[in-house]
Structure 1
Amino acid sequence: MAEEWPAAAATDAATGAVDVNIDDYGETLSFLRCFDTMFLIDDSEHIAPFWSDVQSLLERIAPVCAKYDPDGIDVFFLNHRPKGLLSSMSFRKSGYRHLGGRAAAADGVSALFGRVKPGGKCNLGARLGKLLTWYCDKLKVDDEGAALNLIVITAGAFDDDVKKPLVHAAKMLDEMKVPEHQIGIQLFQIGQPTPEQKRNFEYLDDELCKEAHTRDIVDTTTWTGAPGSLSSDDLVKTILGAVVKSLDARKSKLGLDSSAPARRFDGDAF
């Protein structure tokens, strides 16, 4: 179960940011400086009823993560790609980078949702596979890159195989003998899960690594509120609590120093 998170204050009308009370978790969240924080957003037809909730969540969570990530955060979608993207371009260019960091305010999270509309299938496995392969390939060349903190927001109605890319990435990490928590993936399900979806998430969280005999790189969290019910702040508390819980475990195992942020895998070559 995710840790409880203090209630968020009102949104700053000038910036769109939210002043979340982080006093109790400031030390833990400071370790976000040691991670490359990415969001992977399900923009399939399955999440359409919750799309405004997803936007509100990102608008409120992203400033907190970006505050502790000197380069800001990166946001990728399952189906949407930036205008003008060529198929030959790298995975890194298939999303929106440095939000809250070097990016201008006009390119912030709020602006993204004016461009992205949910529709199509939820091929999360295919997108995860490309992201994780990209990251592991860079790690093979240079194991000094920042650890990956990946937050996946999804309706949980998968249209392809999610298990295969997770196992493949975990095996690559084991073969490279990188630290136990080099990659952490938080699968955050929004909406009321079906019994099958609930079993799938429980399996990915608790059983997948045991069955595959690999390290555990997945945590799952579910928010079961009705569409449009984000105003209670429960959603914000849940996902931030999950991130804090994950970071608490990872910072000790990685031997991190929050005053010295790790170098990101970045640049046109990637």
Structure 2
Amino acid sequence: MSLSHPPRPQPPYPLDTPSDGTLMPDENHHRSWRTGTHTKLERKDIYTSGPYTFLSYFDTVFLIDDSAAMVEHWDAVGKLLGQISGVCAEHDRNGIDMYFVNHRPRGYYLYATIGRKKERGGYFNIGKTAGDACDNCDNVAGIFRAVRPHGGCRLDHRLSAILDPYMEEYIRRVKDGVQQAENLRPLNLIVITAGVTDDNPYDTLIETARKLDFYHAPPYQVGIQFFRVGDDDDGRRAMDFADHGLAQTLNLRDMVDTVTWTSEPGELAPDAVLKVVLGAVERSIDKPV
């Protein structure tokens, strides 16, 4: 007996995702970060000591799409990831974190049976104790080589696994006191994907933006950079709408940026690397929310 699968959702995906019931600001909801209670990052901070210095203000997390749609791009993604992650790891004192859509680290399912799967959901603090950028790249490359793309792409499911705990911690700190919230480093999430998903990738983006707006978080508290590979038309439309249409349509903060890579494997130009690692957070610096 064969099992039938539900049809793949088509972009631009439904935007009527229900809130959890606690965050329902109306169209006149005033979205502004609390002036005077946060050390506001400014554009001058970006290039203080070099083009990537600004990364030191953020925790950088990678989410890699390892679905079947990525098979033909896998070698190129490995090379691109090496370039991008090396820059990020060099400037993140805690090291970078790395998740995959399908792959789980060894021990994940054992930890899941005792309710601790978050502790094995990804690879954490990569490069924290390494001496230089080359060591950091080697660590990332070793992890990447052990993964083979397969299966579907529940992108929203994995976005939720990363963003929901972060927002829970942010909200807990806000409730404990503004100073506690200020001490949580902003998140720079870089997603490498073909954009061909089996769920609605907007659900978690919408809910995260709603929570950030509701709690008046700074505009750069969460930045999500989609690095899209390949030329799938559905993937292009989905990512383009996440970048250009989502915030405007729902009157939410603009925390998403998209870069498309369709070239042959090769070196990214320095400006392109900068765009990938800072795109979503950099353009939010001057924006009131």
* TM-score class normalised by the smaller sequence: 0.7 to 0.9
- Return the TM-score normalized by structure 2: 0.72
User: Aligned to 1:91, which of 94, 112, 118?
Assistant: 118
Change (3 A) 1:235 1:29: closer
- Return the TM-score normalized by structure 1: 0.76
Q: State the one-letter code of the partner of 2:89.
A: A
**Counterpart in 1 of 2:76?**
53
Q: Which moved more, 1:42-51 or 1:60-69?
A: 60-69
CA drift at 1:28: 3.8
CA drift at 1:74: 0.7
**Counterpart in 1 of 2:255?**
217
Structure 1 residue runs of 5 or longer lacking an equivalent are 1-23, 255-270
1:147 matched to 2:182? The reply is no
Q: Per the alignment, in what secondary structure is the counterpart of residue 113 of structure 1?
A: helix
Q: Per the alignment, in what secondary structure is the counterpart of residue 74 of structure 2?
A: helix
CA drift at 1:247: 4.4
User: Aligned to 1:116, which of 147, 161, 171?
Assistant: 147
TM alignment of 1:60-99, pairs within 5 A = 60-85=83-108, 86-87=111-112, 88-91=115-118, 93-99=120-126
Per-residue CA distance 1:94-117 (angstroms, 9 max, x = gap): 111111223695981111023211
Q: State the one-letter code of the partner of 2:249.
A: E
Per-residue CA distance 1:203-229 (angstroms, 9 max, x = gap): 11111112222111111111112xxx2
Change (3 A) 1:160 1:239: farther
**Counterpart in 1 of 2:239?**
201
**Counterpart in 1 of 2:58?**
35
Q: Per the alignment, in what secondary structure is the counterpart of residue 129 of structure 2?
A: coil
User: Aligned to 1:102, which of 119, 129, 143?
Assistant: 129
CA drift at 1:197: 2.5
Q: Per the alignment, in what secondary structure is the counterpart of residue 117 of structure 1?
A: coil
Q: Distance in 1 between matches of 2:49 and 2:101?
A: 31
Q: Distance in 1 between matches of 2:212 and 2:58?
A: 16
Q: Per the alignment, in what secondary structure is the counterpart of residue 158 of structure 1?
A: coil
Instruction: Count matched residues.
Output: 226
CA drift at 1:54: 1.2
Q: Distance in 1 between matches of 2:250 and 2:171?
A: 22
CA drift at 1:252: 5.4
CA contact (8 A) 2:219 2:285 kept: no
Q: Distance in 2 between matches of 1:127 and 1:235?
A: 29
CA contact (8 A) 1:28 1:248 kept: no
Q: Distance in 2 between matches of 1:185 and 1:26?
A: 24
Root-mean-square deviation over aligned CA pairs:
2.3
Q: Per the alignment, in what secondary structure is the counterpart of residue 230 of structure 1?
A: coil
Structure 2 residue runs of 5 or longer lacking an equivalent are 1-46, 174-180
**Counterpart in 2 of 1:241?**
275
Q: Which moved more, 1:35-44 or 1:87-96?
A: 87-96
The structure in which a higher percent of residues are strand is 1
